[in-house]
A and B are shown apart, each in its own frame.
Chain A
């Protein structure tokens, strides 16, 4: 069986067979068929193949139709259930975010309070709070132990710890005086600064330490 070299016409033969061509295309194919034995032969083969393929297995159409239930508008139900699912997901997400936020706030509070109860270490309070929040007259100096000992003023400051929630005497000494030197307004500002520590964006303690290390390194450079 020879193939016609006109692939376009051969491509249209199944459409011609099923009468799916518009009139101009159908006329074009018919003109070609009139002069092409190969295409006529292929069309005849397609017709036979269609007859063979359309020998469908017997099915009980009435039984198939009987299995079709009456129409039920599912859209309303699915909308409702969809909104329920969406609401549940939103509630879970909001709840989870709230818990995470609370945990973070608690962590920040602990981080802010921790160094005060352990004044020997002071890894966080000084560098974070002092440079950003100390009133202008106070010199900005990170209260690391090394710096504190290097400062002669430390020698006459009180080495004991203060109550939790208040800056230690050592920190105040580093800042240039003792707590007794502060006016009521300055004391109020300082307490406000301490309170504002909660708003300082911080991540983990490790990153804060690395930040401190970087500051030390920068100062030594």
Chain B
């Protein structure tokens, strides 16, 4: 398997970064437009709720502030996901210190998705969301990156901080769980 789509995207990202560094602010806007929705989806899938936009904004501000640290070893999107994930973990830790209940519980993600996307009218969509909500946080995180973002296991491992093998196992376990739930 080789990536036939991303190299072009990565070249575009690197080109936009270079243009932004050269003083073209419009290039930053283009980069945000290319990746903001994906970052938002990912943030929502790993527990961001009403603060999704804030997380997305913080992610981009941090990424651009340390853009010289981006060496292009991974794709820009993978790097953004990694930053977003760390931000959310930091937020959870801070909230936990303040005594807030912010853990993503196994059974409350349906509410989480409802809050993100308003009322879901379609019955199939509702069932799928319910099935996704039953996944463990790690399974959901891996599954979202694999199915929604089309990431390879290597990219997922980079983002989540695990191994390719573990990412593969999480994906297939998630798939089996969803099938079983939909069969019930």
- Which chain A residues have a beta carbon within 8 Å of chain B's beta carbons? 1, 3, 10-12, 14-15, 17-22, 25, 42, 45-46, 48-57, 59-65, 67-71, 73-75
B144 partner residues in chain A, CB cutoff 8 A: 53
Interface centre among A12, A14, A51 (most CB of B within 10 A): A14
Q: Which of A17, A46, A67 contacts B57 (CB 8 A)?
A: A67
How far does the alpha carbon of A48 sit from the alpha carbon of B143 in the complex, in Å?
13
Quick check: B5 and A70 within 8 Å, CB to CB? Answer: no
Given A54-B148, A71-B23, CB of A64 within 8 Å of CB of B1: no
A192 to chain B, nearest CB (A): 61
Quick check: A56 and B44 within 8 Å, CB to CB? Answer: yes
Quick check: B28 and A68 within 8 Å, CB to CB? Answer: yes
Q: Is B116 an interface residue (CB 8 A)?
A: yes
Quick check: A56 and B41 within 8 Å, CB to CB? Answer: yes
B-side interface residues, number (CB < 8 Å): 57
- Which chain B residues have a beta carbon within 8 Å of chain A's beta carbons? 1-6, 20-23, 25, 28-29, 32-33, 36-38, 40-41, 44-45, 52-53, 56-57, 60-61, 64-68, 113, 116-117, 124-125, 128-129, 132, 143-144, 146-148, 150, 152, 168, 171-172, 175-176, 178-179, 182-183
Quick check: B150 and A18 within 8 Å, CB to CB? Answer: yes
Quick check: B53 and A3 within 8 Å, CB to CB? Answer: no
The secondary-structure label for the interface of chain A is: helix
Q: Which A-B residue pairs are the 9 nearest by beta carbons?
A: A18-B150, A53-B148, A57-B116, A65-B29, A65-B32, A59-B53, A68-B28, A56-B41, A1-B179
Quick check: A1 and B182 within 8 Å, CB to CB? Answer: yes
How far does the alpha carbon of A169 sit from the alpha carbon of B182 in the complex, in Å?
104
Q: Which of A20, A45, A60, A71 contacts B53 (CB 8 A)?
A: A60
B113 partner residues in chain A, CB cutoff 8 A: 55
Extra pairs beyond A64-B60, A73-B68 (7, CB < 8 Å): A20-B5, A20-B150, A49-B132, A54-B41, A56-B38, A65-B33, A71-B64
B129 to chain A, nearest CB (A): 6
Q: For residue B59, which residue of chain A has the nearest CB? A: A64
Quick check: A61 and B33 within 8 Å, CB to CB? Answer: yes
B36 partner residues in chain A, CB cutoff 8 A: 59, 61, 64-65
